Structure 1
C-alpha cells in the first residue's frame, strides 16, 4: 500500500529540513523524485544520493513557477505526486506592523506557488487517471501561537486548507487526491531559535502532550500515507501531526 514504484514525484523545499526528508522517503518507496528549491548545490547533492533530479527555482517569484513542471517532465516524466513543502516566514513583526512586501512574499511562496504547481501537474495527473497532491501547512493555520507573531504566515497556512478542500472536490472525478499535512513544532530553519534556549524549549515541552521532541521524520509517515494507495480514499483533509498540541 506504500509502494510508489515507477511514480514521478515533485517535492518543493527539498534542499533541507522536511522537504529533504520527504524526498528521501518517497525515493525509498520507489518514486523518482524531482527536488525543487532555490539552492541548486544542495539539491544536486541530494539528487545524486537518491537518484533524483534537481530543479532549481525561486518559488517566491510567480513568474518562474511555471518552468518547474515542464523541467520535471523532461527530466523524469509526467508527475503523479506533488508535495508542496516549500514555505517560509519573511517577517516576525506583529500584525499591525507587518510590511507589505513581506506579506506579499509570504503569500507568493506559501500559497500562490502551491496553487500554480497544482495547476501545472493537473493535466499530467488527469492523463494518468490518478494523482496525489500534499500541501504542507502548519498548526498556525488552525490556532494562534502566543508569543510568536506570524499573521501573514498563518493566513497562508489556513489558506492551504481551503485550497486543498476545493481542489479535492473539483478534481475528485479524475481520481486526483488533494490533502494537507499540518505539522506542529519540529526542528527546522524557521523554528531553530526556539530550540536554542531552555526557556523556549520548556515552552514547547509544556504545551506538547506527547513527551517527545518532534522531528521532520515524524511528519514523513503522514505524507507517505497520503501519496500512496494506503490513502486512496482520503481527500480534502488537513491531517494534523503535532504531538497533541492542538488537542489541548
Structure 2
C-alpha cells in the first residue's frame, strides 16, 4: 500500500535495511554523538516512546521486520534528500506510523488511507471501536495531521534531519522532548534554498520544511537571522 507517495519496493527496503544493520548493529543505536562536554549529543537510541495503546518503537520493531526495514531505510536519507523528496518521505513515514500502530503490511495493502488513519488514531488515543473519530472533542482538531507531523519530526531528528541545524539537536526519547540548542545550518539552507527556487511549486517544499522547523526548534524560538533565511526560501 502506498499513502500519498510513490511505491517503495519491499525488496529494496529489505536490502537497504540489511546494509544498514552492518553499520548500526542489532542494538538499535544510531552512530556516536557529536561534540564534547555539556554540549555533546548523546547516543540516540532508535526508538520513540509509547503512545496510547501503541508500544515504544523499539519493541514494535522487534516484532515487525517490515517496520524495522522502513525505519532503518529512513535513517539513511541525508538531510537534503529528506526535504527535496518530501512526498516519498511522507509516504515512508506514513507506512512506518501505520505498521508501528499494529497493522501488518498485508493488512495495509487491503486498506485505504482513511481506514489506516482511523486504526492508528484509535490505538493512539485508546478509543474502542464504538467511539466516534469524527468530531470527537477528545481528539481535538485535525488529530491525524497533528500526530503525523509530530511523529515525522521525531523520526527525522533520530536520523539525519537533525543536520539542518549546526550544533546540539536531537529528540530525547526518554524525556519525550525535542532538544535543539543550535541554529539553522547555513550550508544546508543555501543548498535547500537553491533547490526550492528551481521548483514549479516552491510553496509546497517551503511549507513542508517550515512545519518541521516549528515541530523541532519552534518558529517562535528562531533568531532574526534564522527567520531571514526562511523568508528567502
Shorter-chain TM band: under 0.3
TM-score (norm 2): 0.28
Q: Which has the higher strand share?
A: 1
TM-score (norm 1): 0.26
